[in-house]
Amino acid sequence: MCCDRNMKIFLIFPALWTFVQSAHILGVFQMPSFSHQCVFQPIWKELSLLGHQVTVITPNPLKDPTLVNLTEIDVSKANYQIMQKHGFQFFMAKEQPVHLKIQKIFELNYELANTVLSDKRFIEVYNNSGVKFDLIIAQTYISPILYAVAAKLQVPFVGVASMGGWIGSHYALGNPNPPSLYSEMFLPYHGRMNFSERFRSTLYYLWSRYYLNFEALPKCDQIARKYLGNDIPYIQDIEKNMSLLLLTTNPILYEPRPNVPTVISMEQMHIKPVKPLPKDLKQFLDNAKEGVVYFSLGSNVKSINIPEKLRKVLIEAFAELPYKVLWKFEADDLPGKPENVLIGKWIPQQDVLAHPNVKVFVTQCGLQSVEEAVARGVPMVGMPFIADQTRNIQRLSEEGAAVGLEHTTLTKEEFKNAIFEVVNNPKYKQNVKRLGEIWVDHPLPSLNRTIWWIEYVIRHKGTKHLRSPTADVSWFEYLLIDVILVLLTIVSLALFILYVAIKFILRMIFGGRKLKQN
């Protein structure tokens, strides 16, 4: 009986496997940032290993010759030049209002889209390859321009993000997003907002609706049509037809919220098994019996870009610590480097965080860095600069897994006290381990779950059956502007009628008395 059952499974499984194994998948990933691309790389690698024919345009190719089903179009040179031109100093400046940063991100995306769509190798893919693609996977980072490739090729597409969803993505899919309940990811609010936060959140909501509909989306549509022709639908309609939106979220940093069926959560996609450290780095960590402070501001902010005043505070504080310090510093030399500090342009962060002598991770609190710290059980001192980093450290502090600092006003004593607090108080280590257990407690590992949903779209040629009707509700209807106007009209009309009636009655009463007196 057991053998018969196993034989049936053995016979059925290949049939199911054949159903999706020969799909042609096109991946479009434009953002020149390793912290973004390291989330997506496991997806296209796994799809190719499962037998799918995968073509990817990316600024961070894997360049793995063993992946025989994978073709990568490398746009690293052009895209990173664009990023370098725009720089991150603007985004790091906290005095810059969030709406100006959003406009700047769109401008960055306009250039990236022009570069990607004008690449001759990519033109051959979307114009002349003759390959019938079954699915497109496109990076979701505010701008929907590159979704238009799916409309050009007339195939379903999946959006994938290396963080939570931007407010425009929630609009497009009809995901509930009232500004009184859910803060936009570029705003530093979390959980229940006070009046001031709700007021600012509402203003941002109204501004983003205006900016998208009247400025950003028309420009996105113009760029898409320049390369893909005028036969495609309007860019907003293309975005609304997204089959899935895969977001890198988790139940700790992102508040629980109702999602439409096509919004799927991922987490810790890029976490890998621990690998041996380089010999010199291993020796440094092994010999640090007193403990190690690991300091890195990630692949976007970068230590080399921080203000001179802040760098001086860090150097002075590190010099007075009783610990060794490993600092990811993107230059050959650090002026004034203390004796207990080792610098490196590139550091295998996941493997360093796994070393038992690392006591605390001083981080900018980018989502991928936080995921790595939680996966390795290392408590944090957070120093947020951009995007969702402020919200991340707020939540980690509330959970007792980190201490947050404001880098613009940071003093040497504040920095040292934060490190001593995290190193010496065992609650931070315990809470990080607790969060790690929550993050990975799912029926399926995150990568398996993600691949299953991608293949689900391929099997059913899209997800029209899961589409939320709220995706077709205009902002005018969503905000009940029409209903409010009708109600105001009715109330105004009723008040006017009441006013006329009272005036008529008073005239009748007092007018009659006047006639009698006369």
Handedness of CA 163, 164, 166, 171 (dihedral sign): positive
Name the pLDDT band for 84 (thresholds 50, 70, 90). confident
Does residue 242 sit within a domain? yes
Q: Residue 294: exposed, middle, or buried by beta-carbon count in 10 A (0-12, 13-18, 19+)?
A: buried
Does residue 1 sit within a domain? no
* Helix, coil or strand: residue 298: coil
Do both 354 and 489 map to the same domain?
Answer: no
Mean pLDDT of 375-398: 91
What CA–CA distance (Å, rounded) separates 417 from 317? 10
**Which candidate, 65, 29, 488, 39, places its Cα nearest to that of 266?**
39
Within 207-323, strands assigned E span 244-248, 263-266, 292-296
Structural domain tally of the chain?
3
Name the pLDDT band for 158 (thresholds 50, 70, 90). very high
Do both 424 and 454 map to the same domain?
Answer: no
Report which of residues 61 and 472 the model is more confident about: 61
Q: Is the pLDDT assigned to residue 147 strictly greater than 70?
A: yes
Q: What is the pLDDT of residue 256?
A: 84
Map tokens 């900016």 to a residue.
211
Q: What is the pLDDT of residue 8?
A: 42
Mean pLDDT of 37-44: 95
Name the pLDDT band for 1 (thresholds 50, 70, 90). very low
Does residue 4 sit within a domain? no
Report which of residues 405 and 180 the model is more confident about: 405
Length, in residues, of the chain: 518
- For residue range 235-246, list pLDDT tens digits in order: 999 999 999 999
Q: What is the pLDDT of residue 89?
A: 60
Do both 414 and 448 map to the same domain?
Answer: no
Task: Give me the percent of the chain exceeding a pLDDT of 90.
Answer: 66
Do both 417 and 454 map to the same domain?
Answer: no
Q: Is the pLDDT assigned to residue 518 strictly greater than 90?
A: no
Q: Is the pLDDT assigned to residue 52 strictly greater than 90?
A: yes
Q: Is the pLDDT assigned to residue 18 strictly greater than 50?
A: no
Q: Which tokens go with 421?
A: 């607090």
**What are φ and ψ of residue 145, in 5° steps?**
-55, -50
Do both 72 and 183 map to the same domain?
Answer: yes
* Helix, coil or strand: residue 131: coil
Q: What is the pLDDT of residue 420?
A: 97
Q: What angle do CA 510, 516, 518 make, to 5 degrees?
A: 105
Does residue 516 sit within a domain? no
Does residue 158 sit within a domain? yes
Q: Are 88 and 71 in contact (CB under 8 A)?
A: no
Q: What is the pLDDT of residue 83?
A: 87
What CA–CA distance (Å, rounded) separates 140 from 147? 9
Q: Is the pLDDT assigned to residue 9 strictly greater than 50?
A: no
What CA–CA distance (Å, rounded) separates 319 from 338? 5
Q: Is the pLDDT assigned to residue 275 strictly greater than 70?
A: yes
- For residue range 25-39, list pLDDT tens digits in order: 999 999 998 888 999
Do both 219 and 284 map to the same domain?
Answer: no
Do both 133 and 109 map to the same domain?
Answer: yes
- For residue range 449-460, list pLDDT tens digits in order: 999 999 999 999
Q: What is the pLDDT of residue 4?
A: 46
Q: What is the pLDDT of residue 99?
A: 85
Domain span at 193: 21-267+444-468
Q: What is the pLDDT of residue 459?
A: 96
Q: What is the pLDDT of residue 402?
A: 96
Q: What is the pLDDT of residue 473?
A: 80
Q: What is the pLDDT of residue 515?
A: 53
Does residue 517 sit within a domain? no
Do both 340 and 246 map to the same domain?
Answer: no
Q: What is the pLDDT of residue 94?
A: 60
Do both 297 and 249 map to the same domain?
Answer: no
What CA–CA distance (Å, rounded) separates 298 from 365? 9
Do both 239 and 387 map to the same domain?
Answer: no
Do both 143 and 222 map to the same domain?
Answer: yes
- For residue range 459-492, list pLDDT tens digits in order: 999 999 999 888 888 777 877 888 999 999 999 9
CATH number, domain containing residue 433: 3.40.50.2000
Q: Which tokens go with 443?
A: 């029926």
Does residue 10 sit within a domain? no
Report which of residues 220 and 481 the model is more confident about: 220
Does residue 5 sit within a domain? no
Do both 239 and 307 map to the same domain?
Answer: no
- For residue range 332-372, list pLDDT tens digits in order: 888 989 999 999 999 999 999 999 999 999 999 999 999 99
